[in-house]
Each structure stands twice: as C-alpha cells, then as structure tokens.
Amino acid sequence: MFDEIMAKFAGSPGQQAVIRLLLERGFSVSEAGRVVSGGIEIPNTQIAGEVGVDRRVVDSTTDAVLADDELRQIFRNISAIPSLMSLAPVLDLTVLTVEVANAGRTGIVAAITSTIADHGVSIRQTVSDDPEFTDEPRLYVVTDADLPGDLINEIRSFEFVRKIELQ
C-alpha cells in the first residue's frame, strides 16, 4: 500500500516527503485541506519546514489527497497513537525492539508477547510498524520490568528474529 501511495506522487519528491511525514506521524487531512492531528491544525509552514519544502508543496499535496478517492479515505481517517517509548527512561520502563526477517509472517506479535507473558513480565504497550508502510518494520514492546536473560535468549532464538535491542 505504501508503494501505491508513493507512486501517486512519483513526479514530486517534495510531495512524497510530505506524504511520508503524514503517514509516519499519523497526521490527517481535514475537509478544508489542512493537516491536522485530531482537532489541532498544524500550519503548513511547520510541515514544510520539517520536510524541507515550500509551504505550497504542502498545499498541493493536501489538494491531491482530497482529489483522489482512495487517498482521501486514508488521510481523512488516519490517526496517531501515543507512545511510551520516549518516556520509558523517565518512567523506568523497558523497551524491547525486535527486527524480523519476514514481517508478513503470521504470529510474530503473538509469539513474542506470549513468551514475555509466560515469564511473568507485564506488557504496558506494543507497537508494530506496518510492513506496508516501511521497509524495515519493527515490533516495539514496552514492559514494566527488565527482561531476564533467559527471556531475551528465547526471543532471540525465534527463527524470524533478525535482531533485538533493549533500552
């Protein structure tokens, strides 16, 4: 899906940068063509500055989104979710990041979260990148406690796990 969305803006790297930002941040486009997060409007100059384009590129991108039936459905309904990952050090939480070999495989989230639960560790939040929207999707698991070594080794031993990181 990500490739299909980006292909609609193939002639404009600036518009692609705007679309990528909207998707990464979960920003939507209002009926009036404004970039919003929930009910809060984000000035086009701020969006433009973040991705390094002129604000008119943001205007033309949101116009194109609203003019396309498929894109309008996506960007009128996308939303952001709050993440505990940045707060983890402040709240004394642990973040496990898992990179997998085949993100389209079924059961990845279930295998990892079940294994954590089987070790008696409480999960506060899980967030997974959508393999349709990113080239290197990851699973992030925020826990209340440090993960014991045997749990880390068990997760690392899954055939689909390429790399894990702890913070």
Is the domain of 26 the same as that of 48? yes
Length of the chain: 167
The total number of structural domains that make up the chain? 2
Residue 111 lies in a domain: yes
Instruction: Please state, as a whole number, how many other Cβ atoms lie within 10 Å of the Cβ of residue 113.
Output: 15
Please check whether residues 93 and 156 belong to one and the same domain: yes
Query: How much is the pLDDT for 113?
Result: 97
Q: Which two tokens stand for residue 50?
A: 């973040």
Range of the domain at 24: 2-77
In this predicted structure, what is the pLDDT of residue 134?
74
CA 103 to chain CA mean position, Å? 14
With contact defined as beta carbons under 8 Å apart, do 152 and 161 qualify? no
- Closest alpha carbon to 63 in 12, 24, 2, 124: 12
Q: Is residue 56 part of a domain?
A: yes
Q: Which amino acid is present at 9?
A: F
Determine, yes or no, domain membership for 68: yes
Query: Are 70 and 117 within one domain?
Result: no
Q: What integer pLDDT is reported at residue 116 of this predicted model?
A: 97
What angle (nearest 5°) sits at the alpha carbon of residue 70, between those of residues 15 and 11? Answer: 25
pLDDT at position 81 is: 85
Torsion angle (degrees, nearest 10) of CA 97, 103, 105, 108:
10
52 and 117, same domain (yes or no)? no
Q: What is the pLDDT along the chain (167 residues), one digit of tens a residue?
A: 788 999 999 999 999 999 999 998 999 999 999 999 998 999 999 999 999 999 999 999 999 999 999 999 999 999 888 889 989 999 999 999 999 988 878 999 999 999 999 999 999 999 998 777 777 889 999 999 999 999 999 999 999 999 999 99
Count the Cβ atoms, other than its own, within 10 Å of residue 150.
Answer: 9
Which residue, of 77, 109, 140, is where some domain finishes? 77
| CATH number of the structural domain spanning residue 94 | 3.30.70.260
Same domain for 94 and 160: yes
**Are residues 21 and 47 in contact, defined by beta-carbon separation less than 8 angstroms?**
yes
From residue 11, give the alpha-carbon distance in Å to each of 7, 16, 61, 116.
8, 9, 12, 45
Nearest Cα neighbor of 163 from 103, 93, 99, 108 is 99
The pTM for the full model equals 0.76
Of 160, 145, 153, 146, the closest CA to residue 111 belongs to 160
